Amino acid sequence: MSSSATATPLPLLPATPVPSEDEDEGPHTSITADRAATRQARLQRVGQRPGTLNIREGALAPRLFLISYDDTFFEEQEYQSYEELLACFRQHSELKHWIDVRGYNDLELMQRLQEDFRIHPLQMEDVLNDYQRAKVEETQDGLFLVSRMTEFTRLLDIDDDQLSIFTGSNYVLTFQDDYEDCLETVRLRLRTGRSNIRRRSPLYLAYALTDVVLDHYYPTMAAIGDYLETLEERIFQGRPDRRVLNRILHIKKDIVRFRRLVYPEREKIAELLRMPEEQMPEEIKVFFKDCYDHAIQALDLAESYRETVSSLVELYMSDQANRANEVMKVLTIISSIFIPLSFVVGLYGMNFQREGPDGRINYLNMPELYSPWGYPILLMILGLIVIFQLTYFYRKGWLTNK
Amino acid sequence: MSSSATATPLPLLPATPVPSEDEDEGPHTSITADRAATRQARLQRVGQRPGTLNIREGALAPRLFLISYDDTFFEEQEYQSYEELLACFRQHSELKHWIDVRGYNDLELMQRLQEDFRIHPLQMEDVLNDYQRAKVEETQDGLFLVSRMTEFTRLLDIDDDQLSIFTGSNYVLTFQDDYEDCLETVRLRLRTGRSNIRRRSPLYLAYALTDVVLDHYYPTMAAIGDYLETLEERIFQGRPDRRVLNRILHIKKDIVRFRRLVYPEREKIAELLRMPEEQMPEEIKVFFKDCYDHAIQALDLAESYRETVSSLVELYMSDQANRANEVMKVLTIISSIFIPLSFVVGLYGMNFQREGPDGRINYLNMPELYSPWGYPILLMILGLIVIFQLTYFYRKGWLTNK
Amino acid sequence: MSSSATATPLPLLPATPVPSEDEDEGPHTSITADRAATRQARLQRVGQRPGTLNIREGALAPRLFLISYDDTFFEEQEYQSYEELLACFRQHSELKHWIDVRGYNDLELMQRLQEDFRIHPLQMEDVLNDYQRAKVEETQDGLFLVSRMTEFTRLLDIDDDQLSIFTGSNYVLTFQDDYEDCLETVRLRLRTGRSNIRRRSPLYLAYALTDVVLDHYYPTMAAIGDYLETLEERIFQGRPDRRVLNRILHIKKDIVRFRRLVYPEREKIAELLRMPEEQMPEEIKVFFKDCYDHAIQALDLAESYRETVSSLVELYMSDQANRANEVMKVLTIISSIFIPLSFVVGLYGMNFQREGPDGRINYLNMPELYSPWGYPILLMILGLIVIFQLTYFYRKGWLTNK
Amino acid sequence: MSSSATATPLPLLPATPVPSEDEDEGPHTSITADRAATRQARLQRVGQRPGTLNIREGALAPRLFLISYDDTFFEEQEYQSYEELLACFRQHSELKHWIDVRGYNDLELMQRLQEDFRIHPLQMEDVLNDYQRAKVEETQDGLFLVSRMTEFTRLLDIDDDQLSIFTGSNYVLTFQDDYEDCLETVRLRLRTGRSNIRRRSPLYLAYALTDVVLDHYYPTMAAIGDYLETLEERIFQGRPDRRVLNRILHIKKDIVRFRRLVYPEREKIAELLRMPEEQMPEEIKVFFKDCYDHAIQALDLAESYRETVSSLVELYMSDQANRANEVMKVLTIISSIFIPLSFVVGLYGMNFQREGPDGRINYLNMPELYSPWGYPILLMILGLIVIFQLTYFYRKGWLTNK
Amino acid sequence: MSSSATATPLPLLPATPVPSEDEDEGPHTSITADRAATRQARLQRVGQRPGTLNIREGALAPRLFLISYDDTFFEEQEYQSYEELLACFRQHSELKHWIDVRGYNDLELMQRLQEDFRIHPLQMEDVLNDYQRAKVEETQDGLFLVSRMTEFTRLLDIDDDQLSIFTGSNYVLTFQDDYEDCLETVRLRLRTGRSNIRRRSPLYLAYALTDVVLDHYYPTMAAIGDYLETLEERIFQGRPDRRVLNRILHIKKDIVRFRRLVYPEREKIAELLRMPEEQMPEEIKVFFKDCYDHAIQALDLAESYRETVSSLVELYMSDQANRANEVMKVLTIISSIFIPLSFVVGLYGMNFQREGPDGRINYLNMPELYSPWGYPILLMILGLIVIFQLTYFYRKGWLTNK
B348 vs B17, residue with greater confidence: B348
β-strand pairing of C135-138 with C158-167: unpaired
C51 touches chain D (CB under 8 A): yes
Residues B158 and B288 in one domain: yes
Q: Residues near A11 by Cβ (< 8 Å), separated by ≥ 6?
A: none
ipTM of the complex: 0.72
**Boundary of a domain, candidates B320, B340, B370:** B320
pLDDT at position D2 is 41
Residues A131-150, mean pLDDT to the nearest whole number: 88
Q: Is residue E108 part of a domain?
A: yes
Q: Residue C384, Cβ neighbours under 10 Å: how many?
A: 10
Together in a domain, D275 and D357: no
Q: Identify the band that residue D265 occupies on the pLDDT scale cut at 50, 70 and 90.
A: very high
Shared domain check, A384 and A254: no
Between chains, do B289 and A137 touch, taking CB under 8 Å as contact? yes
Q: List, in sequence order, every residue forming a beta bridge with C252; answer none if it has no partner.
A: none
Model confidence over B58-77: pLDDT tens digits?
Answer: 788 999 999 999 888 899 99
Q: Which of D191, D336, D338, D343 to substitute to test the interface with C, most C CBs within 10 Å?
A: D343
Whether A6 has a pLDDT exceeding 50, the answer reads no
| Confidence band for D11, pLDDT divided at 50, 70 and 90 | very low
How does DSSP assign B252-319, residue by residue?
HHHHHHHHHHHHHHHHHHHHHHHS-TTTS-HHHHHHHHHHHHHHHHHHHHHHHHHHHHHHHHHHHHHH
Cβ atoms within 10 Å of E377's Cβ, excluding its own: 12
Tens of pLDDT, residue by residue over A93-134, are 889 999 999 998 888 999 999 999 999 888 888 888 777 789
What are the counts of helices (DSSP H) followed by strands (DSSP E) for chain C? 11, 7
Chain A residues in contact with E47 by the CB 8 A cut-off are 12, 182, 184-186, 212, 215-216
Q: Which of these, A137, A150, A144, lies nearest to A213 by C-alpha position?
A: A150
User: Quick one: which H or E segment has residue B323?
Assistant: helix B282-347
pLDDT of E244 reads 84
| Chain A residues touching E334 at Cβ < 8 A | 335-336, 339-340
Q: Looking at the domain assignment, is residue C292 inside a domain?
A: yes
Task: Using alpha carbons, list the distances in angstroms from residue B136 to A205, A354, B166, C51.
Answer: 41, 101, 10, 44
Is it the case that residue A67 has pLDDT exceeding 90? yes
Contact C293 B132 (CB under 8 A): yes
Residues 153-212, chain C: which have Cβ within 8 Å of D?
A: none
A278 has a pLDDT exceeding 80:
yes
pLDDT at residue A355 above 60?
yes
C72 CB-near residues (< 8 Å, 6+ apart): C193
Average pLDDT over residues B5-17: 37
The stretch A164-178 carries a mean pLDDT of 92
Q: How far apart are CA B196 and CA B193, in angstroms?
A: 9
B39 in reach of chain C (CB within 8 A): yes
Give the mean model confidence (pLDDT) for residues B170-182. Answer: 88
Q: How confident is residue C18, by pLDDT bands cut at 50, 70 and 90?
A: very low
> What local confidence, expressed as pLDDT, does residue C7 receive?
37
- Give the chain A residue whose CA is nearest to the CA of E134: A293
Share of chain A above pLDDT 90, in %: 21
Give dist(CA C242, CA C248) in Å, integer. Answer: 10
Nearest to C219 among B46, B327, B354 (CB): B46
D177-215 pLDDT, tens per residue?
888 888 888 888 888 877 778 888 999 999 999 999 998
pLDDT tier, B141 (very low <50, low <70, confident <90, very high otherwise): confident
Mapped onto helix, strand or coil, the DSSP state of residue A385 is helix
pLDDT tens across A80-96, in order?
Answer: 999 999 999 999 988 99
Average pLDDT over residues A216-222: 85
Owning domain of residue C385: 350-396
End-to-end CA gap in chain E: 77
Q: Does D350 contact chain C (CB < 8 Å)? A: yes
What is d(CA E287, CA E275) in angstroms, rounded to the nearest whole number?
Answer: 14
Q: Shortest CA distance to E79 belongs to which of E102, E59, E104?
A: E102
pLDDT tens digits, one per residue of A11-23: 333 334 444 444 4
> How close is the nearest chain D Cα to the Cα of E2, in Å?
26
Pairing relationship of beta strands E171-176 and B143-152 according to DSSP bridges: unpaired
Asked whether residue E61 falls in the same domain as residue E198, the answer is yes
Judge contact between A349 and D348, C-beta under 8 A: no
List residues bridging with B174 in a β-sheet.
B100, B165
Q: What is d(CA C116, CA A353) in angstroms, rounded to the nearest whole number?
A: 107
pLDDT single digits (tens) D208-247 = 999 999 988 888 888 888 888 888 888 877 666 777 888 8
SS (H, E, C) chain E: CCCCCCCCCCCCCCCCCCCCCCCCCCHHHCCCHHHHHHHHHHHHHCCCCCCCCCCCCCCCCCEEEEEEECCCCEEEEEECCHHHHHHHHHHCCCCEEEEEEECCCCHHHHHHHHHHCCCCHHHHHHHHHCCCCCEEEECCCCEEEEEEEEEECCCCCEEEEEEEEEECCCEEEEEECCCCCCCHHHHHHHHCCCCHHHHCCHHHHHHHHHHHHHHCHHHHHHHHHHHHHHHHHHHHHCCCCHHHHHHHHHHHHHHHHHHHHHHHHHHHHHHHHHCCCCCCCHHHHHHHHHHHHHHHHHHHHHHHHHHHHHHHHHHHHHHHHHHHHHHHHHHHHHHHHHHHHHHHHHHCCCCCCCECCCCCECCCCCHHHHCCCHHHHHHHHHHHHHHHHHHHHHHHCCCCCC
**Pair B64, B170 in one domain:** yes
E197, E185 contact by CB (below 8 A): no
Residues of E in contact with D160 (CB under 8 A): none
State the amino acid at position D116 in one-letter form.
D
Q: CA E149, E152, E153 angle in degrees (round to 5)?
A: 120
* Sheet hosting strand A74-79, strand order edge to edge: A74-79, A63-69, A96-102, A171-176, A158-167, A143-152, A135-138
As a whole-number percent, the residues of chain C with pLDDT over 90 amount to 20
The residue with greater pLDDT, C345 or E18, is C345
pLDDT average, residue stretch B230-258: 82
| Minimum CA–CA partner of E329 in chain A | A332
Kind of pairing, strands D171-176 and D96-102? parallel
What does the mean pLDDT of chain C come to?
A: 81
Count other C-beta atoms under 10 Å from residue D353's C-beta: 20
Rounded distance between C-alpha atoms, residue D20 and residue D27, angstroms: 16
**pLDDT > 90? residue B101:** yes
- Cα(D284)–Cα(D289) distance, integer angstroms: 9
Higher pLDDT, E56 or C293: C293
Question: Is the pLDDT score of E78 beyond 60?
Answer: yes
B11 is a domain residue? no
Confidence of residue B9 (pLDDT cuts 50, 70, 90): very low
Chain D: give the shortest CA distance to residue E263, in Å.
17
The distance of C83 to chain B (nearest Cα, Å) reads 32
pLDDT at position A311 over 70: yes
pLDDT tens sequence across B347-360: 888 887 777 777 77
Question: What residues 109-128 of chain C have any CB closer than 8 A to a CB of chain D?
Answer: 120, 122, 125-126
Q: How far is CA B134 from CA B55, B123, C211, D210, in A?
A: 20, 13, 21, 45
Give the pLDDT confidence score for residue B31 in this predicted structure: 57
Interface subset of D 309-348, CB within 8 angstroms of C: 311-312, 314-315, 318-319, 321-322, 324-325, 328-329, 331-332, 335-336, 339-340, 342-343, 346-347
DSSP for C193-260 reads: TT-HHHHS-HHHHHHHHHHHHHHTHHHHHHHHHHHHHHHHHHHHHS---HHHHHHHHHHHHHHHHHHH
Per-residue model confidence (pLDDT) at position B268 = 92
Q: What is the mean pLDDT of residues A224-230?
A: 87
Q: Which one-letter amino acid corresponds to residue C29?
A: T
Distance from CA of D175 to the nearest CA of E (A): 19
Specify the pLDDT at position D24: 41
Query: Do E176 and E163 meet the contact criterion of CB atoms below 8 Å apart?
Result: yes
SS3 C133: coil
Cβ-based contacts of B50 with chain C (< 8 Å): 196, 208, 211, 287, 290
* pLDDT exceeds 50 at position E188: yes
Whether chain E has a CB inside 8 Å of the CB on D246: the answer is: yes
Q: Which residue from A367, E389, E233, A33 is spatially nearest to B229, judged by alpha carbons?
A: A33
Whether D56 and D157 share a structural domain: yes
Nearest CB among D215, D296, D350 relative to C47 is that of D215
Q: Which of B174-183, C277-286, C362-371, E327-336 has the lowest mean pLDDT?
A: C362-371
Q: What is the amino acid identity at position B242?
A: R
C-alpha distance from D350 to closest chain C C-alpha (Å): 4
CATH classification at residue D126: 3.30.460.20
C334 domain residue, yes or no: no
Do the Cβ atoms of B214 and B291 come closer than 8 Å?
yes
Q: How confident is the model at residue E140 (pLDDT cuts 50, 70, 90)?
A: confident
Put simply, the answer to whether D290 touches C122 (Cβ < 8 Å) is yes
Put simply, whether C392 touches D (Cβ < 8 Å) is: no
pLDDT score at A272: 93
| DSSP-derived secondary structure for B171-210 | EEEEEES-SS-S-HHHHHHHHSTT-HHHHS-HHHHHHHHH
Note whether residue E385 is domain-resident. yes
Are E316 and E357 contained in the same domain? no
User: Which of helix, strand or coil describes residue C141?
Assistant: coil
Query: Could you tell me if C311 and C356 lie in one domain?
Result: no
Q: Do B131 and C297 touch (CB under 8 A)?
A: yes
Put simply, the answer to whether D336 touches C331 (Cβ < 8 Å) is: yes
CA distance linking residue C324 with residue A388, whole number of Å: 32
Angstroms from D209 CA to nearest CA on chain E:
23
In terms of domains, do D139 and D281 share one? yes
Are residues C287 and C366 located together in one domain of the fold?
no
Residue B64 DSSP symbol: E
B16-39: average pLDDT: 46
Determine, yes or no, domain membership for D45: no
Partner-chain contact C304 B49, CB within 8 Å: no
Cα–Cα dist C382/A137, whole Å? 80
Top mean-pLDDT range of C3-7, D70-74, E343-347 = D70-74
- The answer to whether position E5 is within a domain reads no
In angstroms, the first-to-last Cα distance of chain A is 77
pLDDT of residue D155 exceeding 50, the answer is yes
Question: Of how many residues is chain E composed?
Answer: 402
Nearest-CA residue of chain E relative to D41?
E218
Query: How many other C-beta atoms lie within 10 A of the C-beta of residue B24?
Result: 7
| pLDDT of the residue at E133 | 84
Confidence of residue A306 (pLDDT cuts 50, 70, 90): confident
Q: Is the pLDDT of residue A28 over 50?
A: no
All chains having 3 or more CB pairs closer than 8 angstroms to chain B: A, C
Summarize pLDDT for D304-357 with one digit per residue, the tens. 888 888 888 888 888 888 888 888 888 888 888 888 888 888 888 888 777 777
In the predicted structure, residue B1 carries a pLDDT above the cut 70: no
Residue C27 domain-assigned (yes or no)? no
Checking if the pLDDT of C30 tops 80, the result is no
- Residue A25 has what pLDDT? 42
Share of chain B above pLDDT 90, in %: 21
What residues of E are in contact with residue D158 (Cβ under 8 Å)? none
**In this structure, are A296 and A391 located in the same domain?**
no
3 state SS of B96: strand
Q: Does D300 touch chain C (CB under 8 A)?
A: yes
Does B257 or D48 have the greater pLDDT score?
A: B257
What residues of D are in contact with residue E331 (Cβ under 8 Å)? 331
Using a CB–CB cutoff of 8 Å, tell me whether C50 touches chain D.
yes
Q: Which of D351, D229, D207 is nearest to D284 (CA)?
A: D207
Pick the residue of B29, B48, B250, B330 with the most C CBs within 10 A to test the interface with C by mutation: B330
Average pLDDT over residues E196-219: 89
Contact B185, B286 (CB under 8 A): no
Q: Are E74 and E198 in contact (CB under 8 A)?
A: yes
Residue C2 has pLDDT above 60, yes or no: no
Surface of E (205-234) touching D: CB under 8 A: 208, 211-212, 215-216, 218-219, 221-222, 225, 228-229, 232
> What's residue C4's pLDDT?
41
Q: Are residues B267 and B355 in the same domain?
A: no
On chain B, the residues whose CB falls within 8 A of the CB of C300 are 133, 260
d(C-alpha C299, C-alpha C284), whole Å: 23
Among A305, A320, A335, which residue terminates a domain? A320
**Number of domains composing chain A:** 2
Interface check C131 vs D, CB under 8 A: yes
User: Is A395 or E402 the better-scoring residue by pLDDT?
Assistant: A395
